[in-house]
Amino acid sequence: MKITLLPPLVALLITATLASAAQPEGWVPLWNGKDLSDFHHFNGTAKYWIEDGAIVGQTREGSPNSFLCTRKRYGNFELKFEVLVNDSLNSGVQIRSQLKPDLEGDYGRVYGPQVEIESGPGQAGFIYGEATGRGWISEEPRDRSYQHDVFKNNTWNAYHIIAKGPNIKVYINGELVEDLIDEAIYETHPEGFIGLQVHSIQRGKGPYEVRWRNLMIKPLDS
C-alpha cells in the first residue's frame, strides 16, 4: 500500500480544522493548559500545580481558604469542568467573585458566589456566599439535614454551571441540582473572576487534594 505524505503546512491546517470542529461552538478553554499564568493566587498558602492535564490544589495546615482565580472576569457564561476531591475535603468554585480590598492579605479577601464541591451525600452544587455574610444563598442547604447523593465519591464528577443575570443553574453529572434566582447577589456581583478553592482544614489533618480538569467556558450575551 502506498502512503502519501501531506506537505507540513497542509497537515497543520487539517489538524487545526479538526481540532476546531471537535470544539463545541462558543466554548473555549478557561486556561492555557500548560502553566498557571492565567491565574492569580489569592488568600491562603495552599499549593497549586499541574499534573496529567489537571490543576491540583493541596491543603496546607494553618492556611485559611485559598483561591486560584482567573485574571479574566466573566458576567454571563456557561462553565463546564470535572472535579475529583478527597472525601475529607470541602471545596468549591467561585463565580463572578471579587476582592474586598480592606480585609486580610495583600490583595484583599475573595468574596462572592461559590458553587459547592463536597463528597456525597451532601450539599454539592448549591450556592454559598463566600465572605459575603449571607452564608448559604441556596435555600435547601440552610437545613443541614437536606442532602443528596448526585455527587459520586472517589471519582470524577462533571459540573455544568449556567450564570445568566440573577439566575444560576448547576448541573452535576447531567442532573439539575440548583436553579437559583437571586437579585441581591446579582446586584453586588454581576461579574467577576472564577476561582478554584482549596478550603482550610483542621490542625493535624491532611494534606488533602482536589483536582480540576477539562475546564471550558462559553461567554453568553448580556
Structural element, H or E, at residue 14: helix 8-22
E strands, the chain, in order: 28-29, 39-42, 47-51, 54-58, 66-70, 77-85, 91-100, 109-117, 127-130, 135-136, 157-164, 167-172, 175-181, 193-198, 209-219
Between CA 58 and CA 62, with CA 59 as vertex, the angle to 5 degrees is 155
pLDDT tens track, the chain, 222 positions: 443 444 544 443 443 444 444 557 899 999 999 999 999 999 999 999 999 999 999 999 989 999 999 999 999 999 999 999 999 999 999 999 999 976 555 568 999 999 999 999 999 999 999 999 999 999 999 998 899 999 999 999 999 999 999 999 999 999 999 999 999 999 999 999 999 999 998 787 879 999 999 999 999 987
- Name the CATH topology of 27-219: Jelly Rolls (2.60.120)
What pTM, to 2 d.p., does this model score?
A: 0.87
Contacts of 155 (CB under 8 A, 6+ apart): 84
Closest Cα partner for 114 from 158, 159, 174, 47?
Answer: 159
